[in-house]
Amino acid sequence: MPKGAALITGASSGIGAELAKLCATGGYGLILAARSGDRLGDLAGSLAKAHGVEARALVADLSDPAAPQSIFEGTRGDTVEILINNAGFGLRGPFAETDWAAEARLIQVNVTSLVHLTKLFLPEMLGRRSGRILNVASTAAFVPGPLMSMYYASKAFVLSFSEAVANEVKGSGVTLTVLCPGATRTAFFEAAGITDSNLLKGSSMSAEEVARIGYRAMMAGKTEVIAGARNRWMMRGARLAPRGMLAAVTRRLNSSV
């Protein structure tokens, strides 16, 4: 792996799979992590063949607190030049009624595992003064999210955490970028049980478009990128709007009626 390896979580489909393709095209070896072993192995094999890079799958469930350390140990001997924390999922429902066990898994995947993996790989990057980290947040990070409160809050954490660490590593040879997509055509909505969401009645982007924007921003060393001009304008407005009004608007979007 002459250029080093790209470790990508949630790589078996959607934005993660598209980012894997871009990294392979860029000449990086691939270490793909996700729960779905067969699909992950097929993707690793096809990208290795198509781009002449080394690629392998690491089957890991990031809702398991031991998974980040296991992934880290599984990369011993590799130079992880790129870390892409893409894994994440959402839940819908009034907070008083949603299942705590599912929410605990959401926190573990969306927040704790992302931070843990960053904690594990960042010191090595700083030691060799080379490396890139891409954390996938969401435009949900900018607004309160009634009916999906835990998901929106988790992405707000990812945005704030990423901006802070990006500042800490400035000038070190290591960069940290946070990608904030809006509604994206992936399996996310099916997994979250929200295929009837009003969010899907508006415009959305493809996983390929979002991945390309995130990859370019990461390679350019940008701290933050919001995918899509429409989303950028909406989030600029959100920064100025009253939070109560944003909560009311977001509730309508997260609703099915």
The Cα 156–Cα 142 span in angstroms is 6
In the chain, alpha helices (H): 14-25, 37-51, 67-74, 100-107, 113-128, 149-168, 188-192, 207-219, 229-240, 243-254
* Residues belonging to the active site: 151, 155
DSSP code string of 163-214: HHHHHHTTTTTEEEEEEE--SEESTHHHHHT-TT-GGGGS--EEHHHHHHHH
N-to-C CA span, the chain = 51
User: In sequence order, which residues have a C-beta less than 8 Å from that of residue 248 and are 6 or more positions away?
Assistant: none
What phi, psi does 247 have (nearest 5°)? -65, -40
Answer whether 74's CB lies under 8 Å from 9's CB.
Answer: no
The Cα 11–Cα 85 span in angstroms is 10
